[in-house]
Structure 1
């Protein structure tokens, strides 16, 4: 599901005057979800970006790893059945929340803290499960929404450039799969990534970097620490834990929203 390719060690560009573990993770990445490839640029977008040679996003895989694992606690929490039904048409729910905000924004009697409390709370159960792609130009919105033994991956990829060029090849859609299959895909990605990073670190240790600073012991230790941290984070997807979300509050807010929109 998660595909990546690290840059050749000779193509790695250190950040500043120091070579660190993060810079060694520079590469390409995309998500293969059924018949779609998320984070794949259209040919028009590739031309716009000075004839980009690869159709996939090129950035530090470590950034994806950090943003993705940050969601694991929220992803591991099952969404109640009636709210999970809403994720079949996530765009419709989000349109309603935007409409609610727009209506109350014109109301002189709207409490000053509405945006920070009611509106933020009613959106939180979705936003907490959204992969951060703000570092990308027109980054797509990708959500991971679990309900018991299944998970829905939903994505919004209608982003365009200033000249209306469509950025992404995938059209907005969603896919449901077995939750354990999803977890196994995540594990497989982690195993593959850290295996290749071990090789990348070894190459970095034996390469002559000239004037670039390299703390070899620190690099070796960070590789160990990062892999252990990922392994620990996997437990957040698997272990049964107490409810983290106040679902009753969200239900009440949705009722309030629908009433005020009507």
Structure 2
């Protein structure tokens, strides 16, 4: 929280720096109706924009870090800050209650009665949640070449950078110990992009109601040998993991889709145990649900932004005539880039072809053997 200003509105300026120290979030929250503020001691202050000095408790939000954001379907806003501060704005029956605008956020205005303007709200969804796959590429001159005596670079290697996942106020893959480096996972963005592409057909396949307890469980396997149906159920369960096995002490991240009436959601389940060396700010467990349409849009946005960034990178390499001392085949790079622009479309057209009856039988059998926790 960079700045707090008062008149007949309360304006809170929010910002966050990306790995390259540029502003990836530069936004303003405007509150126009009475709101509640809880301080570090748990005291609750009912504050009203336009009340002058009575708004003084809100000054304590200066330089506090927003740790969680919750936007309810009725338009209520709840922010959690470091050191125990919390801010809540309820919808007003007659007036706009709050709005959020700026860079790096989804613009939204909550009008009279909690009606949201500027965002699409799926009917029946409990939260106006947004998921985003975020990344920043290394500056071109800092990309590490592959090989020893004959250093070279290719499309995959040129995507070296940082990446993380933002969902419902959480920054997944943000490290607790960064040693002065940007605090996110440091690897090739292409790996995240590839894994999300491959995973998405399984994520978008709606899980039948009878299998929802199985997919929502923390199943660990065991008790071999399995029957054919049990193997199919185990394979189906594992196909919902977003793979991070290439990093040290990786988190477990699973995603699946459920439909209940007019609620069509993708659930993200995060689990990680800090080993004293590798930890993440999200903590040991996070489970949130977002509208399935928001998940698909996040996948498309990741694809679009990475393809755009790599198009610019290739154009820069062509203008430079390559990189000094590094083997780089620009023609092959162009062909591979053109090929990769089609990957997402091909994956979205792919059907997992799940044998639901066999998976249901297998999941039931595994549950009976108490492999589901």
TM-score by length of 2: 0.57
Deviation readout 1:119-152 (Å, 9 max, x if unpaired): 5433222210101111000111111101243211
2:297 matches 1:176? no
2:365 matches 1:256? yes
Question: Cα–Cα, structure 1 residues 71 and 258, in superposed 2: closer, same or farther, change >3 Å?
Answer: closer
Question: Cα–Cα, structure 1 residues 258 and 234, in superposed 2: closer, same or farther, change >3 Å?
Answer: closer
The corresponding residue for 1:18 is 152
2:203 matches 1:72? no
Match of 2:268 among 135, 153, 156: 153
The corresponding residue for 1:188 is 301
Question: 1:63-212, aligned counterparts within 5 Å?
Answer: 63-88=191-216, 90-91=217-218, 94=219, 98=221, 101=222, 104=223, 114-115=225-226, 117=228, 119-148=230-259, 149-158=264-273, 160-161=274-275, 164-165=276-277, 167-171=279-283, 172-207=285-320, 208-212=322-326
Asked whether the equivalents of residues 162 and 189 of structure 2 are also in contact (C-alpha less than 8 Å), the reply is yes
Question: Cα–Cα, structure 1 residues 235 and 126, in superposed 2: closer, same or farther, change >3 Å?
Answer: same
Question: Cα–Cα, structure 1 residues 183 and 261, in superposed 2: closer, same or farther, change >3 Å?
Answer: closer
Asked whether the equivalents of residues 303 and 344 of structure 2 are also in contact (C-alpha less than 8 Å), the reply is yes
**Regions of 4+ moved over 6 Å:** none
Displacement, 1:78?
Answer: 1.3
Q: Secondary structure at the match of 1:125?
A: helix
The Cα RMSD (Å) is 2.3
Question: Cα–Cα, structure 1 residues 11 and 166, in superposed 2: closer, same or farther, change >3 Å?
Answer: closer
Asked whether the equivalents of residues 268 and 287 of structure 2 are also in contact (C-alpha less than 8 Å), the reply is yes
Asked whether the equivalents of residues 126 and 143 of structure 1 are also in contact (C-alpha less than 8 Å), the reply is no
More helix by share: 1
Q: Distance in 1 between matches of 2:347 and 2:198?
A: 8
Q: Secondary structure at the match of 1:198?
A: helix
The corresponding residue for 1:7 is 138
Structure with the larger RCO, 1 or 2 (CA within 8 Å, 6+ apart): 1
Q: Secondary structure at the match of 1:214?
A: coil
Q: Distance in 2 between matches of 1:69 and 1:232?
A: 9
**Structure (1 or 2) with the larger CA radius of gyration:** 2
Asked whether the equivalents of residues 133 and 141 of structure 1 are also in contact (C-alpha less than 8 Å), the reply is yes
The corresponding residue for 2:342 is 228
Gapped regions of structure 1 (runs ≥ 5): 106-113
Deviation readout 1:87-136 (Å, 9 max, x if unpaired): 44x22xx1xx54xx3xx46xxxxxxxx15846543322221010111100
Deviation readout 1:58-101 (Å, 9 max, x if unpaired): 1111111111211122122211012224444x22xx1xx54xx3
| Range that drifts further, 164-173 or 8-17 | 164-173
Asked whether the equivalents of residues 197 and 344 of structure 2 are also in contact (C-alpha less than 8 Å), the reply is yes
